[in-house]
Amino acid sequence: MISEKMMEFVKSSSVIRAMFEEGKRLADIHGAENVYDFSLGNPSVEPPQEVKEALLQVINEENPNLVHGYMNNSGFEDVRESIATSINSKFETSFNSGNIIMTVGAAGGLNVILKTLLNPGDEVITFAPFFGEYRNYVSNYDGKLVVISPNTVDFQPNLEEVEEKITAKTKAVIINTPNNPTGVIYSEATIKALASILEKKQGEYKTSIYLISDEPYRELAYDGVEVPYLTKYYRNTIVGYSYSKSLSLPGERIGYLVIPNEIDSFKDVVAAANVATRILGFVNAPSLIQRAVAKCLDAKVDLDIYNRNRELLYNSLISYGYQCVKPQGAFYLFIKALEEDDKAFCNAAKKYNILIVPGSSFGCPGYCRIAYCVNYDMIERALPGFKKLAEDYGL
């Protein structure tokens, strides 16, 4: 018999599994080219050429025992130093290798930092809509996820509510910008206002409230919009970065945490995060890809490809009558469902072989996520279905 907690996790992951099964079923009936799967955030753009060259260079030119061996739990010193230097040059910060811990993607980084920080019953705040896995990650360490209700006007965080919901037990706040599922980038004004609320509440409760910035989509910002670097706005910030989307390497499982010197209990947090990396079973982030990404810190996937998808899909859906805040980043559109029940609406979309994810999976019922990290021509082929779907609802 499996653990009761795992039973709950298995039950709640059934939506995605059901979607996957449904995709397969529809592809068997209609042919894969006639099924429009917008359900997954799996990058469609190829990794930049620099990644391949870097991997070959590491394999051909570096000492195999060093490349493939065990290392410090935090990762290769020279890789961490290069990453720190690169962040400093982009954001005028002053990090060094001691502030960087290499992680198994953003997911690994979040688990390491939550294990580091949480006592049972500690509260972690996040803003709906949010990446559904946060619920599981917080639960892994017996924390309690406190969800702030969505601000559906522009999907910036609802700051009034966060101020009310911070308690003496609030240990961390997780934010994700550019955001999955809305594609919205939190403005500098929002970040400043959130920082001042957190400062005030820390003072009031005499606690440390860590702001965890989950940033797998940092590099995916369009129209020149800036994504504020949060350590500059709030002292107790920890950044979780990932190369999954910026270099299209989600299967390679590589990212890092930035733990600034200025945070409360800096030395303890770094020591505990190292131990957490080990005892969660990661031991260290994968070595070959650590060495490779350090050689292409300025490389990026071709954003024009995602941007073309974004423009086509957004402009077409708006012209059919759908409502959606235009995303400035990531590769998701978050549309208002055309009926109250978002699950029923996603089911209705299947009539046209369109697979999209209900907003309730992100704590925001009444909406649906469309992942546009797909081929442009698939979007073109799917558009008549989106149009007919809108017409079915009288638009």
242 binds ligand PLP (CB under 6 A): yes
* Nearest distance in Å: CB 40, ligand PLP: 9
Q: Which residues contact 390 (CB under 8 A, 6 or more apart)?
A: 320, 321, 322, 338
Neighbours of 250 (CB within 10 A): 18
Which CB sits closer to ligand PLP, 182 or 202? 182
Q: Which residues contact 87 (CB under 8 A, 6 or more apart)?
A: 93, 95, 229, 258
Instruction: Considering only the stretches 26-34, 105-113, 263-271, 387-395, report the one whose residues sit in contact with ligand PLP under the rule CB under 6 A.
Output: 105-113
Number of H helices, E strands in the chain: 14, 12
Cis peptide before 150 (omega within 30 of 0): no
- In the window 122-141, what residues touch ligand PLP (CB under 6 A)? 131
290 binds ligand PLP (CB under 6 A): no
216 binds ligand PLP (CB under 6 A): yes
Dihedral sign for Cα 131, 136, 138, 143, please.
positive
| Nearest of 293, 319, 328, 391 to residue 155 by alpha carbon | 328
Instruction: Name the phi and psi angles at 25, rounded to 5.
Output: -65, -45
Which CB sits closer to ligand PLP, 48 or 250? 250
252 binds ligand PLP (CB under 6 A): no
Neighbours of 385 (CB within 10 A): 17
Which CB sits closer to ligand PLP, 76 or 131? 131
219 binds ligand PLP (CB under 6 A): no
* Nearest distance in Å: CB 214, ligand PLP: 5
Window 20-59: contact mask with ligand PLP (x via CB under 6 A):
---------------------x------------------
Among positions 51, 102, 106, 118, the unique one binding ligand PLP when judged by CB under 6 A: 106
- 22, 195, 385 from 33: Cα distances, Å: 15, 47, 14
How far separated are the first and last CA of the chain, in Å rounded?
50
Site size toward ligand PLP, by CB under 6 A: 13
Which H or E run contains 111?
helix 105-117
- In the window 178-207, what residues touch ligand PLP (CB under 6 A)? 180
111 binds ligand PLP (CB under 6 A): no
CA–CA distance, 180 with 18 (Å, rounded to integer) = 20
Give the nearest residue (CB) to ligand PLP.
105
Q: Using only the alpha carbons of the chain, give its radius of gyration.
A: 21
99 binds ligand PLP (CB under 6 A): no
Window 297-336: contact mask with ligand PLP (x via CB under 6 A):
----------------------------------------
371 binds ligand PLP (CB under 6 A): no
Q: Residues in the site for ligand PLP, rule: CB under 6 A?
A: 41, 105-107, 131, 176, 180, 214, 216, 242, 244, 250, 255
